[in-house]
Structure 1
């Protein structure tokens, strides 16, 4: 085998190895990627059951029902609503009328099963994704 042909095989082998490594990295990133959706976007998009994503909006007034550690509530962006169930301890700042982000998946019955609940930090803070969704729906109220 000539040195030129040996270099060609080495180059092809290196490119193949690089391609396999890139494919593995992209696959790992895709498995850990979690998208954010508002209730309106959930209604518009056909999100399959058991696909993990973040749902954000406001906790609807009068919707929170607690049964031990099981909590049921509704998240709204003032256009659409999504029912949520969560088993666990809620953050101290979780309450009706406040911004919330729930991470989990949508069940076949249309109820979002949350694995984690994130609540706002103080009376002026709202998660950026929730604020953007409310601005897009035209329901944003500036806190002054």
Structure 2
């Protein structure tokens, strides 16, 4: 299988939204983080992130972070690229309290407040992806 950050972003966002509507906070929360990560990596590729096709992953280990770590890393690519000027994100990372290992946490540890905050963060990434589609970047 080939890595496709854009497609992964889209499907994880759609599934997160369905789970959110079903009040399945834990899985919605997890997928909002994954959707944001994949969307940012799709844009990072367009802004110059080197991808190792043989290993099917970003070349630089720093680019293999998840939602909580990739937010700041994205900025280093965006700010260094001419087309990135209009693709900024707030400096405050809405995923600073999100970690991929939380997929193992008990669902009682999640609620609408937590899921909604990560939903808003993922929604910011969705807007950038839509803009990139409109601009012909993706």
Q: TM-score range by the shorter chain?
A: under 0.3
Q: Output the TM-score relative to the length of structure 1.
A: 0.23
Between structure 1 and structure 2, the one with the greater Rg is 1
Larger strand share, 1 or 2 = 1
State the TM-score, normalized to the length of structure 2.
0.23
> Quick one: higher RCO (CA 8 Å, sep 6+), 1 or 2?
2
